[in-house]
Amino acid sequence: MAAATAGGVGVALQAAEVLESILSGSVGPEGRQVLCTKPTGDVLFSRDGGRLLEALNVEHPVARMIVTCVSMNQNVTGDGAKTFIILLCDLLRGLKAFTEKERGSFGGSIPSQERHWKICCQWKYISQAILTFQAHILDYIMTQYLRKHFLSIFSFSGEEKKVCRSSLESLLDAYFCGRVGRNNQKFISQLTCDYFYKCLQHEDGKDEMIDLVDEYFLELCTAVTGLPVSSSKIISGFVIHRDFSVYCPADGDMRIIIVTEPIQPALSSSGSELLINSEAQFQASHIWITEKTKTIMKDLQSKGIKLLLSSVKQQETVIYYAKQNGISVVEYIPSEEISLLCRIISLSPFMPSWATSVCHISDTALVTFCRPILLNSRRYVHLGLLSTHSFIPHCLILCGPVQGLTDQHIRAFHGAFKVLRQVFKVLYLSYKVQRSNQNETSNSINSKENKQSHHLIEVYRALFEKQHLDSFLISKDNPSRTQSHLRDAPDLVLSSMESKNDIPSTTLTQTPKIKEDFESLLCSYPNKIGIVDTKEPLVAISCSCSGDSLTDIPDEHLSVIEQTCKMSRTTIDMKSKEVLQDPSQSYCTSFIQAGSVLPVGGHFEILLHYYLLDYSRQCQKPELQCLEMPNWDASLPGTVYLSFPYLHHLQCFVQ
Amino acid sequence: MSRVKAKTPSLCTCELLTKEIVSKSLSGLREIVASCYGPSGRLKQLHNGVGGSICTTSSSSLLFNNLSVTHPILKILTTSVQNHVSHFSDCGLFTAILCCHLIENFQRLNLSSATVIKVSNHLLSLCTDYLNSETCGCRISVDFSNMKTLHCLVQSILTSKPACLLNKKEADHISTLILKAFLLTIPEKTNDFAILGKSLIIPLKGERVMDSTVLPGIVIEMPEVQLMTFPIKKLPSNALKVALFCISMSGEISDSGEGTLIVTYGVSLENAVVDQLLKLGNQLISDHVDIVVCQKVIHPVLKQYLHQHHIVTIDRVGISLMEPLCEMTGTQPIGSLNFISPTSYGYVKDLCYTNFGSKPYFHLIPNDSTVCSLLLCNRNETSWNELKLTCQTAQHVLKLMIREPLALLGGGCTETHLAFFLSHKVISVPECVLKANDCTQTEYKIVANAFCNALQAVACSLEHDKGKILADRKYGHFWSVQPDFPPNVKWQDLVSKCGCGLCSNKEELNWCLLQSIHSASQNSPLQQPTNSLKDHLTLDCFTAKLHGLQVAVETASLILDLSYVIEDKN
């Protein structure tokens, strides 16, 4: 049993590490494409983490669960699959190291029964700690510390809040850097940006527009193989992926209707019986059917209908009379396209009624043009739709030499809109600010550079007391537990620092300091919690920054990252002030503002790491040490946020 | 449930992408396609292990359709070439050879794939910008008022496919026919946008090539059983009335809906339908229809009845002929057996029965229409297939020409010219370009060199007889010398004109061997040949070649960017 539990994290880590090693090749701007072949002979290119994981068909149950979690997460966020795996791996790795260390402290003399029980307790504790960490600390750090580093995608000009095009461009650039081949990144990103602005009616409708595009993306784009990627374009209107059954050229605005069932009445309807007594009767009923169809089509013409869109096959008679009356017909339209059309032009399908002599046409709509368009050596129907209040209909034509590539671009494009949807959404966090006094909050934020305000100390204290109580409760049952836990904590800091820094001198100079800090913290709790040396964190961040760079990436990128950090620094100063002065700062539930973005290149991870370290020094929370990971992916706060609940679930499972 | 099987895990491997395996399989494919290239290309005979038809070809579309490759990289390459061909019909071999050479050359470099991809992307943009610019020295604009250029273009396409088995005179004849058919499809009166008509290719296998001809209107093969001739009474207007049906007239009972039909004893539905058909026949007779054409089958009773009234019936024409028939006769396809609106009839000028070869045909002669039939003859099945494919390519290229009336110099001259252009361009690379592509001057030059070499290698694969390949530094054109020239003659005297036929060997041209220009880079910019158009130029379609170039570079980048393969074996 003990082995099984011990295997729990080990196995999970093993599975996650395998996945990590598979994905590591395609992370970041230097990542490369992966080719997926299918037994049918199809080939597919991908740099999309979620797609690759799905293609793997993993067998191991834990790995399969991880893959499911990743895909679910990516379905919402559109990005972050690779980040997810890397984060998960490092968390598991940290936990493993931590528990092994602790297990060593149990000693070999304890009977196995007791040992097992201890291990179970330990896992229970860790699981709860992670939950608490996710719900309170991480969200707290996110709102209180990282907030000041958030840039906004909006530009504020007076009262108006507008999406800043250059910010949007750089956001998309960063996103596509990790998703498509590097010779097309710029082009595709530009195309996405253009598409966004072309479809956008006005700023307020952008959420609705993005939702619509996201939901019906596959209908809105057409893949064309055999042309170079640079031939991709945006066309106005909507492309129905079917050909005309009847095409009658017409100029100007046209009235259209949509039908979802055959116009021609059937000889017998389902569930009924038709008794034929004579040949003449049979002929007469046929003639009646034709007559009826003729009148309906005539009627449609008299109402000025020029185009009939049908989701089903219509009888030849209908086609014939449509042609006679100058009505163009498109048949077999997929139901998704019909529902998108209905939504854009707010039109309900027409129901032919055969009982009355004049049929009642409930709903018609106008289109500006309707003509054939040749794509992919096939003729499709190109409709000029009038724009709704939020969406100006535009279609995407994505070209590529092979289908695998166009698929990749479609998926990346779709993901980009999911990302945009996340960006423009306010993200509510589970952490609650305990006091909503506006003045105090803003004061605390303004004084952040020097020391924590009283208010924040209170929060810390509350958290710390709670946690202390927890560990105390455990220690009642198991006296050695707290002791070992406390003793282990500083060592763990040391080990994690060592593992992450290749420069031993830095580590050596720093660890005693941390140790001191910890000890003093422990001795003088709770009086010293609020006191933080302002110099030390700065050392910590620069050290962790260089340490990461050394272990994980070649030197040449170091400068790039530093530059990004610097650049973002300067912009933060400008932007964060705007954010801070925003009167909407008084809140009860904490949230991340809509449009918040962070610079890429691991900046987010480094910042988070720094604040966690800083925080852990104050609160003594060793698990936090595990959460340090270098990563050069596009990082949106939402992405990481959403991944944490899954991390927690995973932990529960591991128990 | 026994058929439900758990999915096996995929295999994640980078073994297939090692340089050795890739270059081995790529060079295999390259040798196959390169040996097909050009007028003196070698033919390939394709047949499978279990028998079936044998096809002799040197065209990329047939070759790749029948070639089953296993290596995923080759699959990507062939698919992308096939996709290109489905759009442009032309330049498939060019794309394939260039792509192979690019990948092989780039793999040999010891540079990171990121650099190679970025730089080659930039080089491609240099090429496309140059080709699209007015100053481009290797393209000529096509003048539609003068058929000479178009004729050259069509002839170049025909001669580049030796499997058609045409001699010079035959090639000339066929290219004239293709041009004639093309001109017939252009409508005389046009409003805002013109819709091109159709030229149908009618197979006449086993006849002499010189018997091929172009006829206005539509030629439909007559089934033997219908072989009966009777005089057709003519309308006073000297035209024949045509009714075109798109529904079946075979007397079947049409769809009765989802419910059930209960038929009383003694009532025959078949009779009812045939009765109805005969009523329809009566209406056709009273409307003075002369020809009834049906997409599907006409019931023999109705056929007989119509024949008795001297109405010609043509059935089973198929969906592909429906559109040209509508266009030519001006009919609306009738979709009802009960009522026929008088407006849905159309007219033809005349109907003839003619024999081509040994088979009887109906020939519908239109009054004034953009539909024509190209009766294509060739000696045997496989050469006819190749000829048909080539004709379709030529027709497609002519259509592309309307959209973009430009042609590129063929015969290897465009490739050499571009290579010279690039090697001159990269002598001094602006700092901003290097910065944007994140590479050094040397790296850029190395990649550019590999790119130029690939372009030249494409030109060199036109030569299959071990001849000497030269290029001139003045215009950057391609020249080839026969391999077995007598020793007492200077080879400079043997060449008379370049690959495309634009330049002649009259001036000082500063020759060099083609494969070695990278060592001595091009110092002076290329000049434009000043002389006027010659009679016999070898030309390529501009649109097809430009896209081919782009697709080749993009596919090469895609393949070079791969890091490993996930194989799904379910």
Interior CA angle at A335 toward A334 and A340, to 5°? Answer: 105
pLDDT tens sequence across A486-504: 333 333 222 223 223 322 3
- Do both A30 and A141 map to the same domain? yes
CB pairs under 8 A between A and B: 217
B550 has a chain A CB within 8 A of its CB: yes
Average pLDDT, rounded, for chain B: 86
Q: Where are the domains of chain B?
A: 13-138+408-567, 143-187+195-217+375-404, 219-368
B546 has a chain A CB within 8 A of its CB: no
Q: Report pLDDT for B27.
A: 93
Q: Report pLDDT for A603.
A: 66
**Per residue, what are the HEC states of A449-463?**
HCCCCHHHHHHHHHH
Residue A279's closest chain B neighbor by CA? B272
Confidence check: pLDDT of A61 > 90 = no
- The H-or-E segment that residue A322 falls in is helix A316-324
Stretch among A143-147, A331-335, B107-111 having the lowest mean pLDDT: A143-147
Cα dihedral across residues B104, B109, B110, B116: positive or negative: negative
A315: which chain B residues are within 8 Å (Cβ-Cβ)? 255, 335
The reply to whether A419 falls in a domain is no
Of A392, A410, A437, which one is at a domain's C-terminal end? A392
Q: Report pLDDT for B338.
A: 83
Q: Quick one: fold of B143-187+195-217+375-404?
A: GROEL; domain 2 (3.30.260)
The reply to whether A407 falls in a domain is no
Q: What is the SS3 assignment for A163?
A: strand
Q: Report pLDDT for A500.
A: 31
- Do both A144 and A158 map to the same domain? no
CA distance A181 to chain B (A): 7
* Beta strands B372-378; B406-409: pairing state: unpaired
* Beta strands B468-472; B511-513: pairing state: antiparallel
Contact in structure between B58 and B43 (CB atoms under 8 Å)? yes
Interface test with A, best of B338, B399, B400, B559 (most A CBs within 10 A): B338
For A101-136, the DSSP string reads HHHHHH-S-S-HHHHHHHHHHHHHHHHHHHHHIIII
Q: How far apart are CA A173 and CA A187, in angstroms?
A: 9
Q: Report pLDDT for A606.
A: 72
Contact in structure between B254 and B335 (CB atoms under 8 Å)? no
Instruction: Determine, for residues B338 and A35 on separate chains, whether the beta-carbon distance falls below 8 Å.
Output: no
Q: Top-level CATH class of B13-138+408-567? A: mainly alpha
CA distance A447 to chain B (A): 42
Interface test with B, best of A21, A35, A232, A244 (most B CBs within 10 A): A35
- Do both A125 and A259 map to the same domain? no
Q: Report pLDDT for B397.
A: 94
Q: Write the DSSP symbol of residue B372.
A: E
Confidence check: pLDDT of A422 > 60 = yes
Confidence of residue A594 (pLDDT cuts 50, 70, 90): low
Stretch among A333-342, A347-356, A427-436, B132-141 having the lowest mean pLDDT: A427-436
B237 has a chain A CB within 8 A of its CB: no
Instruction: Determine, for residues A33 and B562 on separate chains, whether the beta-carbon distance falls below 8 Å.
Output: yes
Q: How far apart are CA B467 and CA B500, in angstroms?
A: 17
Contact in structure between A471 and A485 (CB atoms under 8 Å)? yes
- Do both A139 and A168 map to the same domain? no
Q: Report pLDDT for A100.
A: 78
Instruction: Determine, for residues A33 and B563 on separate chains, whether the beta-carbon distance falls below 8 Å.
Output: yes
Confidence check: pLDDT of B377 > 90 = yes
Q: Shortest CB distance from B261 goes to which of A58, A268, A402?
A: A268
- Do both A388 and A442 map to the same domain? no
Burial of A571 per CB tally in 10 Å (0-12, 13-18, 19+): middle
pLDDT tens sequence across A225-249: 989 999 999 999 999 999 999 898 8
Interior CA angle at A105 toward A103 and A106, to 5°? Answer: 70
Confidence check: pLDDT of B354 > 50 = yes
Confidence of residue A265 (pLDDT cuts 50, 70, 90): confident
Q: How far apart are CA A458 and CA A454, in angstroms?
A: 6
Confidence check: pLDDT of A70 > 70 = yes
B557: which chain A residues are within 8 Å (Cβ-Cβ)? 181, 183
Over residues B372-400, the mean pLDDT reads 93
Over residues B435-450, the mean pLDDT reads 90
Q: How far apart are CA B478 and CA B499, in angstroms?
A: 5
Residue of A379, A384, A406 lying closest to A395 (CA atoms) = A384
The reply to whether A405 falls in a domain is no
Q: Shortest CB distance from A276 goes to which of B86, B118, B262?
A: B262
B73: which chain A residues are within 8 Å (Cβ-Cβ)? 35
Interface test with A, best of B131, B558, B569 (most A CBs within 10 A): B558
| Other CB atoms within 10 A of residue B471 CB | 32
The reply to whether A416 falls in a domain is no
Q: Report pLDDT for B97.
A: 96
Q: Report pLDDT for A137.
A: 72
Confidence of residue A158 (pLDDT cuts 50, 70, 90): low
- Do both A472 and A581 map to the same domain? yes
User: Please, which residues 44-83 of chain B have a Cβ atom closer than 8 Å to chain A?
Assistant: 72-73, 75-76, 79-80, 82-83
Place of tokens 């081919």: B548
Instruction: Determine, for residues B564 and A34 on separate chains, whether the beta-carbon distance falls below 8 Å.
Output: yes
Confidence check: pLDDT of A263 > 60 = yes
CA distance B228 to chain A (A): 32
Q: How far apart are CA A384 and CA A381, in angstroms?
A: 10
Place of tokens 């389902």: A270
Q: Shortest CB distance from B550 goes to which of A52, A230, A277?
A: A230
Place of tokens 């266009």: B327
- Do both A222 and A244 map to the same domain? no
Q: Report pLDDT for A360.
A: 67
Contact in structure between A348 and A363 (CB atoms under 8 Å)? yes
Instruction: Determine, for residues A227 and B87 on separate chains, whether the beta-carbon distance falls below 8 Å.
Output: yes
Residue of B459, B460, B475 lying closest to B545 (CA atoms) = B459
Residue of A50, A9, A108 lying closest to A414 (CA atoms) = A50
Distances (CA, A) of B119 to A96, B102, B114, B217, B501: 45, 13, 9, 53, 33
- Do both A219 and A334 map to the same domain? no
| Other CB atoms within 10 A of residue A320 CB | 27
**First and final C-alpha spacing in chain A:** 11
Written as six digits, the tokens of B511 are 């020759």
Helix (H), strand (E) counts: chain A: 22, 19
Q: Which alpha helices (DSSP H) does B1-112 contain, by range?
A: 19-34, 60-66, 72-88, 92-108
Over residues B3-27, the mean pLDDT reads 83
Q: Report pLDDT for A649.
A: 34
User: Please, which residues 425-464 of chain B have a Cβ atom closer than 8 Å to chain A?
Assistant: none
Stretch among A523-537, B91-105, B225-239 having the lowest mean pLDDT: A523-537
Q: How far apart are CA B332 and CA B323, in angstroms?
A: 10
Interface test with A, best of B71, B74, B83 (most A CBs within 10 A): B83
Q: Report pLDDT for B541.
A: 93
Q: How far apart are CA A96 and CA A6, in angstroms?
A: 9
Over residues A76-100, the mean pLDDT reads 80
Instruction: Give the pTM.
Output: 0.82
Q: How far apart are CA A280 and CA B276, in angstroms?
A: 10
B121: which chain A residues are within 8 Å (Cβ-Cβ)? 183
Comparing A653 with A326, which gets the higher pLDDT? A326
Cα A88 to chain centroid, rounded: 17
- ipTM of the complex model: 0.88
Confidence check: pLDDT of B353 > 60 = yes
Q: Report pLDDT for A168.
A: 85
The reply to whether A398 falls in a domain is no
- The H-or-E segment that residue B314 falls in is strand B312-314
Stretch among A24-33, A476-485, B162-171 having the lowest mean pLDDT: A476-485
- Do both A631 and A649 map to the same domain? yes
Written as six digits, the tokens of B382 are 């496989």
- Do both A166 and A115 map to the same domain? no
Stretch among B383-387, B439-443, B496-500 having the lowest mean pLDDT: B496-500
- Do both A559 and A593 map to the same domain? yes
- Do both A148 and A159 map to the same domain? no
Contact in structure between A370 and A388 (CB atoms under 8 Å)? no
CATH 3.50.7.10 is right for the domain spanning B219-368: yes
Over residues B477-485, the mean pLDDT reads 82
Q: Report pLDDT for B542.
A: 94
Residue of A430, A414, A405 lying closest to A76 (CA atoms) = A414
Distances (CA, A) of A244 to A260, A300, A314, A331, A370: 16, 18, 12, 7, 10
Comparing B310 with A497, which gets the higher pLDDT? B310
Comparing A1 with A304, which gets the higher pLDDT? A304
Q: What is the SS3 assignment for A157?
A: strand
Confidence of residue A655 (pLDDT cuts 50, 70, 90): very low
Q: Report pLDDT for A221.
A: 92
Q: Shortest CB distance from A266 goes to which of B121, B257, B338?
A: B257
Contact in structure between B513 and B476 (CB atoms under 8 Å)? no
Confidence check: pLDDT of B20 > 70 = yes
B287 has a chain A CB within 8 A of its CB: no
Confidence check: pLDDT of A588 > 70 = no
Q: Write the DSSP symbol of residue A138.
A: I
Confidence of residue A73 (pLDDT cuts 50, 70, 90): confident
Percentage of the residues of chain B whose pLDDT score is greater than 70: 94
A317: which chain B residues are within 8 Å (Cβ-Cβ)? 335-336
Biggest distance spanned by C-alpha atoms of chain A: 107
Cα B259 to chain centroid, rounded: 50
- The H-or-E segment that residue B323 falls in is helix B319-329
Residue B263's closest chain A neighbor by CA? A276
**Per residue, what are the HEC states of B477-526?**
CEEEECCCCCCCCCHHHHCCECCCCCCECCCCCCEEEHHHCCCCCCCCCC
Stretch among A404-408, A466-470, A610-614, B316-320 having the lowest mean pLDDT: A466-470
B86: which chain A residues are within 8 Å (Cβ-Cβ)? 226, 377
Residues forming a β-bridge with B364? B218, B351
Question: Which domain, by its residues, includes A214?
Answer: 154-235
Contact in structure between B412 and B539 (CB atoms under 8 Å)? no
Q: Report pLDDT for A554.
A: 29
* Phi, psi (degrees; rounded to nearest 5) at A523: -65, -45
pLDDT tens sequence across A3-25: 444 456 778 888 888 888 888 87
Q: Report pLDDT for A46.
A: 85
Q: How far apart are CA B287 and CA A393, in angstroms?
A: 49
Q: Report pLDDT for B229.
A: 57
Over residues B22-36, the mean pLDDT reads 93
Written as six digits, the tokens of A200 are 């956008």
Q: What is the SS3 assignment for B371?
A: coil
Residue of A276, A278, A150, A17 lying closest to A604 (CA atoms) = A150
User: Please, which residues 328-357 of chain B have a Cβ atom closer than 8 Å to chain A?
Assistant: 332-339, 341, 343-344
Instruction: Specify the number of domains making up chain A.
Output: 3
Q: Report pLDDT for A357.
A: 57
Residues forming a β-bridge with B249? B298
Q: What is the SS3 assignment for B53?
A: strand
pLDDT tens sequence across A359-392: 667 678 888 889 899 888 889 999 998 877 788 9
Interior CA angle at B11 toward B6 and B16, to 5°? Answer: 150
